[in-house]
Structure 1
Amino acid sequence: MLDHAEKAIAFVGGMDWPQFAGDEKTRFAVVRAVEIVGEAARRVPEDFRDSQPQIPWRRIIGMRNVLAHDYIGTNPRVVYDTVVIFLPELISALRPLIDGIGGDG
């Protein structure tokens, strides 16, 4: 999760919304990275997810489902906002958990 969240942020880099909207390759790469974050979240055992309510697991998994099953209807602005607003917060919440279990993301 952490690895692909960081990749999505790196793909966006310093792009503003118009730059992101106009760059199909970046949009495609970011959508895939965010989808993988959601897939990884879905595979986290439910008891662990329940023990970490500060992570919005359902929201993450829901985003994955939208991206995986309805790409044509996906709003690129929602994807962009997810990367620039939500993913940094997610990384901040995940890092101590991963460090605590000795994982790498």
Structure 2
Amino acid sequence: MEFTLKQKEEVVDKLEQLLESIEIIQERCKDYHSLDDFLQTPWGMTVIEACIMRLQVIGEAIKGIDDKTHQELLVNYPQVPWRKIVGLRNIISHEYANIDYDIIWTVIKKYLSPLRETVELVRQDLM
């Protein structure tokens, strides 16, 4: 599907939000080597809670991209589990008390870098 210039601009804006959130999370977490490093101090808890909010922003941006492109863009990049990311956003938004910090830690340490690479590719493909 071809996207209008307006759609492309809106999607690129969402992709920029995604990249900014990924960068912020990675910067905040660079000195933490385990989940326990977060959970053992009040400051660590503040950092992980802030990162969770940024993960929510990522999920919102992906949801927004899907809405703006009628779910016809991100399906072309199946290496990322887009629906799972939106699902995590739903848990953060609606079931905050049930957040599993082990999952959050895994997402931060294992999945953000590949997500960043794909988001940069999507942005490049749109330009």
Which residue among 31, 35, 43 is the counterpart of 2:56? 35
- Describe the SS at the equivalent of 2:87: helix
Please provide the CA RMSD for this pair: 1.3
Return the structure number with greater relative CO, CA threshold 8 A, min gap 6: 1
Pick aligned residue for 2:33 from 10, 16, 27: 16
List alignment gaps of at least 5 residues for structure 1: none
1:25 maps to a residue whose letter is T
- 1:48 and 2:73 aligned: yes
Cα deviations by residue, 1:26-61 (Å, 9 ceiling, x for unpaired): 011100001100110011121112222222110110
Q: In the aligned structure 2, how far is the partner of 1:53 from the partner of 1:39?
A: 18
Q: Structure 2 regions of 5+ residues with no counterpart? A: 1-17
Distance (whole Å) between structure 2 residues aligned to residue 50 and residue 36 of structure 1: 20
Structure-2-length-normalised TM-score: 0.74
Once the 2 structures are TM-superposed, how far is the Cα of residue 97 of structure 1 from its aligned partner? Answer: 1.7
- CA contact 1:11–1:29 (8 Å) conserved in 2: no
Please identify the structure whose Cα radius of gyration is greater. 2
CA distances 1:61-102 after superposition (whole Å, capped 9, x unpaired): 011111111111101121111001011111111112213334
Q: Higher mean Cα deviation, 91-100 or 68-77?
A: 91-100
Q: Which residue matches 2:89?
A: 64
Does the 8 Å CA contact 2:77/2:118 hold for their aligned counterparts? no
Q: What is the number of residues matched between the two proteins?
A: 102
For residues 14 and 81 of structure 1, the distance between their equivalents in structure 2, rounded to whole angstroms, comes to: 15
- Runs (4 or more) in structure 1 with deviation over 3 Å come to none
TM-score w.r.t. length of structure 1 = 0.87
